Structure 1
Amino acid sequence: MAYLEDLAKAKRAGRAWTCSCGADNPAHYDACHDCQTPSWTCAACGTVSPQQQDACIECDCTTASEAIGDREEGFDLTYEEWVTKQIGPRRVGGRYDYGNADSEYEVLAIERGPRPTWPTWQITARGADGQVREHHTGWDARRDRIITEAPADTQGAPDQTQ
């Protein structure tokens, strides 16, 4: 009965997570109640997501809090180190691709933050369609790739990124 009570509390609080098998789970469960698939907690927003997913189901962050330490222990990474890891090799003026058809984009600006609300950092980019968008998707070396390096005059200049 503890599972059902925990699940009801989590659903009322809006903190339940759904496994890829379809089962709902309380936020503090580190594995699915039905299939025992492990979960992970997002370092940025604290949402619990199924392990099979590449990114957080709430904010698309790809860094698990388990990878950098939890809030009680103290993070292993500073905020600046975490943002640097999320931005990856992207630089203003460079062109990158995130692995989908027509997903090439040029980085126009990088705002490292911290900002008081989510997203705490963001990248402004122009897509292949010419649209300018802001996003905060972390670099994923498994699927993201560099199309063209940023010009040398902006690559090393920290004042070019905000």
Structure 2
Amino acid sequence: MDSDHESDDRPPRRPPSPSKDPYVYTLQSSRHASSAKVCRDFVACVLNSVGQWELADTAALCTSELATNAFLHAEGDSVMLRVVIEPPRFRVLLYDASAELPAAVSLPEGDRLRGRGLGLVAALTDAWGTAEGDATGLYAKGVWFELAGKEEDAG
């Protein structure tokens, strides 16, 4: 039989069964002024790709707030962004090299331009918090949020 053709005794190809494991998408970015845009675009792309477009704008905004905080207040040269999809929940974690935890969350009164980021994250998401650093030890802490999506379209 010609080597370019499949043998007739091979089993038919079948699509793989959907995994029960979470899907994880990771991006490492410089800790730079452009990090917020890169991170928010990455999160929006992931959520749109898995059919959760109704969450993409909220997730992008909250990701932008986390990345901006890391740029303004963290240490180190880079950040690591992870999007964990465990339908129907989606978790976004942003790791940085600073061990200092975020300040208490409250929306400032009046017209103050700064200090609203984590208040927005808290108001727009189902849950948020901090995590210990990544497994490699490169990053000291993570800040995360979760959103609930539609289970039938996820993954």
TM-score, normalized by length of structure 2?
A: 0.26
**Structure exhibiting the larger radius of gyration computed from Cα positions:** 2
TM-score, normalized by length of structure 1?
A: 0.25
Higher helix share: 2
